[in-house]
Amino acid sequence: MELTTNILLIIIIIVILVLLVNYFKSDKIKLSNLKAGTEEEIIRASNLSSNSASNNYAYSLWFYVDNWQYKLTDQKILLSRSSKNLSNVNNPLITLAPYENNINISITTYSNPDKSKNDITMSDIPTMTPTCMVSNFPLQKWVNLILSLNGRTADIYLDGKLVRTCVLPGVPKIDSDADIHITPDGGFSGWTANFHYWDKPLNPQEAYNIYKKGYGGGGLFGGLTGMVNKYKLKVSYLVNDKEEGSFEI
C-alpha cells in the first residue's frame, strides 16, 4: 500500500509539473481570462501582438449569457474598439441586441467604396457600415464568437461554424492606437473568457480548432480543470496477472 501511495504521489507531482510548463508556455495572444459580463475589461493596444492598421485580423471571445432579462431593452456591448481621434468610428463594435438574442457586428468603413486603402486621404470621411447580424445565438451555454476580417470581407464563426460572411461597402477604418473594451457600460449578465487577437484572418479549420479547445476558464486553475477532464489514471490490482480490482483518478 505504501508503494501505491508513493506511485500516486509521483504521478501527481508529474501532472503538476506538466501543467506548470504548459501554463507558462501558453499562447501569448490570449489576452483575458474568466470575467463577469457586467465588468469592463480593457485590452491596451500596446498589448496586441503585431498591432497595425491592417485590414486583416481576427478576434475570438467566449461568452455565456445567464439572464437575458438584464438590460432587455438595451443594446449590450460585448466588444468595442473605438477610435481615440474620431467619434463614431468602431472597428469593430459587437453588441447583443435588445429583446432578441441576436449578435450585431458593425465595422466603420471609408465612404468611397471604389478606393483602395492606399488611395485614401485624410479628406475621406469614415462612415458606419450596415450591421452584420447573427440570429438566435444560444443562451445559458458557453458560445465561441470569432470575427475574421480579410480586406473587405468579414467572416463570422459561431461555435466553430461559419454562420455569416459580410462584404463591407468600403475599406475598413482601422485605428491601431485604439484599445479594446470588453463588456463596457454594464455589459450583460453572464461571463466572458479567453479573448484572443490575431494579426491575420482565420480559415474555417483554424476557427473550428479554437472552438474545440473550449473556453478554458483561464489561468492556472482553468488549465488544471482542463487537464483533469482530458486525462484519467486507472490503477489496477493484479493477482497472478489477473485484474482483481481497479479505480480511476
Q: Residue by residue, what is the 3-state secondary structure of the chain?
A: CHHHHHHHHHHHHHHHHHHHHHHHCCCCCECCCCEECCCCEEECHHHCCCCCCCCEEEEEEEEEECCCCCCCCCCEEEEEEECCCCCCCEEEEEEECCCCCCEEEECEEECCCCCCHHHCCCCCCEEECCCEEECCCCCCCEEEEEEEEECCEEEEEECCEEEEEEECCCCECCCCCCCEEECCCCCCCEEEEEEEEECCCCCHHHHHHHHHHCCCCCHHHHHHHHHHHHCCCEEEEEECCEEEEEEEC
- Tell me: pLDDT of 227 over 50: no
Greater pLDDT, 60 or 27: 60
pLDDT at 225: 46
Percent of the chain whose pLDDT exceeds 70? 70
Greater pLDDT, 239 or 148: 148
- Tell me: pLDDT of 195 over 50: yes
Per-residue model confidence as pLDDT tens digits over 30-52: 567 789 999 999 999 988 877 77
Average model confidence (pLDDT) across the chain: 81
Highest mean pLDDT: which of 17-21, 115-119, 150-154? 150-154
pLDDT at 110: 82
pTM for the model stands at 0.73
Least confident of 95-109, 110-124, 186-200, 211-225: 110-124
Per-residue model confidence as pLDDT tens digits over 8-33: 678 778 766 765 555 444 444 556 77
Greater pLDDT, 223 or 136: 136
CATH topology of domain 34-216: Jelly Rolls (2.60.120)
Greater pLDDT, 180 or 244: 180
Task: Name the pLDDT band for 243 (thresholds 50, 70, 90).
Answer: confident
- Tell me: pLDDT of 113 over 80: no
Task: Name the pLDDT band for 2 (thresholds 50, 70, 90).
Answer: low
pLDDT at 129: 66
Where are the domain boundaries for CATH 2.60.120.200 in the chain?
34-216
